Amino acid sequence: MAGLVYFSSGSGNTARFIQALGLPAARIPIRQDEAVPAPGAPYVLICPTYADGTGAGAVPKQVIRFLNDPARRALIRGVIGAGNRNFGATYGLAARIIAEKCRVPLLATFELAGTQTDIARIRDGLTLFWREPCLTP
């Protein structure tokens, strides 16, 4: 299985989800002065949404910085979104934006730190995703 790259804010919800998932993952740092991971193989990005009520600022600046590098962006194969359903239409918005801009599939979403069902569903889905060949360019 290829890797995961994720962003988690100070709240740590996404980091807790990654820990529970139990799969190798590289974290995009919160602070701009920390080293950004340089994946050497295809990866799935896991990204929470941080938007105001209109959706502005949905994709964290750190994730934008990460994806602005063509070498890192070239290896993304899918996106998983995290968020809070209380925010209605903006739930998972960052993942939808990234999927569209990078032309990769939105594989799943989960709320906050995820449930045991989310963890099992996404772990199983990732196993299948990396095993099945993609038929789209």
Number of domains observed in the structure of the chain:
1
> Within a domain: residue 117?
no
What is the pTM assigned to this prediction?
Answer: 0.89
> Within a domain: residue 2?
yes
> Within a domain: residue 84?
yes
Per-residue pLDDT of the chain (137 residues; tens, 9 = 90+): 459 999 998 888 899 999 999 999 999 999 988 988 999 999 999 999 887 666 777 899 999 999 999 999 999 999 999 988 877 778 889 999 999 999 999 999 998 888 899 999 999 999 888 886 655 55
Can you give the chain as a three-state secondary structure string? CCEEEEECCCCCHHHHHHHHHCCCEEEECCCCCCCCCCCCCCEEEEEECCCCCCCCCCCCHHHHHHHCCHHHHCCEEEEEEEECHHHHHHCCHHHHHHHHHHCCCEEEEEECCCCHHHHHHHHHHHHHHHHCCCCCC
Q: Which domain holds residue 77?
A: 1-29+68-90
